[in-house]
Amino acid sequence: MSEGNPSSAPVVSEPESPIQRFTKSISREERFFLVLAVFIGVFAGLGVVCFRLFIEWSRIWLLGPMPQSGDWRLLISPTAVGVVVTLLVIYLFPAVRGSGVNQTKAALYIYNGYVPFRTGIGKFITAALAIGSGQSLGPEDPSLQIGASIASALGLRLQISRERLRLMAPVGAAAGLAAAFNAPISAVLFVIEEVIGRWSAGILGSVVLSAISSVVVVRWFLGAEPLFRIPAVGLQSPAELLAYAVLGVAGGLAATLFAKAIGYLRPRLRALPPWTQYIQIPLAGLLIGVVGFLGAPQVMGAGYEYMDQAIHDQFTWKMLAVLALLKILTTIMSFVSGAPGGMFAPTLFVGCMLGGAVGGLERVFYPHLAGSTATYALVGMGVLFAGFLRAPMTSAFMALEVSGNYSIIVPVIVANTFAYLISRSLQPTPIFDLLTRQDGLDLPSMEEQREERILRVEDAMQTPIAPVLESEDIVQQAYQRIQQSEADLFLVRMHPSGWATVGRDVLKHMVGEGRGDYTLTAVLPAERLPYLHPDLPLEFALRFVYESPLVPVISRADFRKLEGVISREAVLNKYRLVSQQPTI
């Protein structure tokens, strides 16, 4: 190749700046974290598969393949296993009480994402024994904590950064919950909605990858069958929405009863003398066994097979109503006793039975309007989820994901809205926040953050009291215009775009030196002022008001149109006024 050919010249690359090196390192870390999320999902999926098999084996061995009322094992097993679980909780695994959701949230906000692997093992053993012996709890919340502990252990082993380590717990939680539900979308939404409380492209990507990979593992080992066998569902008539509104009201009242009973009894049982801790879980197991022995074994354990039967219209509406009430009572007994286990399955059970009861009741009085029991049961699941767990987005998508039928979206939204609003008005503090405060922790309330009013720039901006100058103005004329104003600093609209400020003293000095025939462009600095828009969050203004005493607020449609001005004092005064307002 000839010397004159430019392509033969050696290419000399410029050295990378520190910012470029930092950006590349962040990009590499993000890619590694996404790959790591897949492995977290695989390991969490394997853990949940073993967990589910252990629960099923325990249930068959302790209660029989199909528990029947009158069987003495229904009394003996939950009581005896309750003693074993109590000893394990008190002496080996003290951190496994409760559902696991708040513990995972605490790991994110308090313990830098650390969930002890010992806690995951303890949750695996104690929750499987408790649920398998008949405690009225579910495996989803423990699966969430098991996944979080696996992810945390993997993150510590790989020595990733602290920021990424904080996210390991929720990524593992999404994997564990998705594997337990066999529903990745609902798991992703719940973790983002109730655990993390925020999302970005990186967080969403890692959570989605872990959830999908865990579901793939579960379906590989346990099959691709959904959690329930769903018959044909749908909205039969627009008039039927009244019945779904009634279901939403009933669900909101049931959720309130559920939450208030737990909030009232849990701290009182924990305040009893220490020796009572040895008998609370066994006593709860005995009482639940009595309920099963006397005729309602359906309320023992998670109860998925009975939810499936309710969906297929195998109970009368009166029986469904009784089962919903008994499930609330037995779950309260199990949870406040401190038995390890989750609230998801009981919530779905109560909602399913309540929905089926409302549908059956409608069939009695308005047979020409009644749709399928399956539709009411599925909508009822979402209703209790929205009212009790207060996760409105998750509740809506869960019903859709489980059914695979988007024709029920309108009934789901109608019923969930009524349940959520009634529950919020009667029980202002969500159940997870209530439990957190009872445990003496101060974790962020995701519902309070969602409902909190966002202060915007328009809330603090002021109408400019000083005249706005133009960059083409003559200095002498501009100085005459500002004589009637008491301000010392004035905004200048630049041509063709941009904003700047000029002080009274500068203009006075220019006029005094005989340069009054200059345009303002000649005396303004080259850099332009930052600007804001009225709809931006007020916190954005804090980035600029400490460097610029006056910041223009301009229209998004016309950058030369001034909507107002904002200053440091205006921002601070607005925050001060808000802080002084009484909390409702």
pLDDT at 355 over 60: yes
Give the mean pLDDT of 522-540.
Answer: 84
Give the mean pLDDT of 245-273.
Answer: 95
> What confidence score (pLDDT) does residue 323 get?
96
The domains found in the chain, sorted by start residue, are 29-222 (1.10.3080.10), 238-450 (1.10.3080.10), 457-580 (3.10.580.10)
pLDDT at 12 over 60: no
Give the mean pLDDT of 191-210.
Answer: 81
> What confidence score (pLDDT) does residue 113 get?
81
C-beta neighbour count of 513 within 10 angstroms: 8
Lowest-confidence segment of 60-69, 241-250, 516-525 by average pLDDT: 516-525
DSSP percent split of the chain into helix, strand, coil, nearest 5: 65, 5, 30
pLDDT at 289 over 50: yes
- On whether the CB atoms of residues 304 and 228 are closer than 8 A, the answer is yes
Residue pLDDT, tens place only, 316-348: 999 999 999 999 999 999 999 999 999 999 999
> What confidence score (pLDDT) does residue 440 get?
87
From the list 108, 115, 195, 198, the residue with the least C-alpha distance to 153 is 115
| For helices 241-270 and 431-438, angle between their N-to-C axes, nearest 10 degrees | 10
> What confidence score (pLDDT) does residue 583 get?
52
pLDDT band of residue 367 (cuts 50, 70, 90) is confident
> What confidence score (pLDDT) does residue 407 get?
77
Burial 251-280, CB ≥16 within 10 A → b, else e:
bbbbbbbbbebbbeebeeeeeeeeeebeeb
From the list 503, 500, 566, 493, the residue with the least C-alpha distance to 533 is 566
Residue pLDDT, tens place only, 391-418: 888 888 887 777 777 778 889 999 999 9
Residue pLDDT, tens place only, 411-465: 999 999 999 999 999 999 999 999 999 988 888 887 777 777 788 999 989 888 8
Percent of the chain with pLDDT over 70: 92
> What confidence score (pLDDT) does residue 392 get?
83
pLDDT at 132 over 70: yes
pLDDT at 23 over 80: no
pTM to 2 decimal places: 0.83
pLDDT band of residue 15 (cuts 50, 70, 90) is very low
C-beta neighbour count of 357 within 10 angstroms: 28
How far, in Å, are 426, 487, 506, 510, 551 from residue 522 at the CA level? 65, 22, 12, 11, 21
The residue that leads in pLDDT, 371 or 98, is: 98
> What confidence score (pLDDT) does residue 581 get?
67
Q: How far apart are CA 489 and CA 501, in angstroms?
A: 7
pLDDT band of residue 286 (cuts 50, 70, 90) is very high
The 8 Å CB, 24+ separation contacts for 461-468 are 461/534, 461/553, 461/563, 461/564, 461/565, 461/566, 461/570, 462/564, 462/565, 462/566, 462/567, 462/570, 463/564, 463/565, 464/491, 464/562, 464/564, 464/565, 466/490, 466/491, 468/492, 468/493, 468/562
pLDDT at 149 over 50: yes
DSSP three-state, residue 299: helix
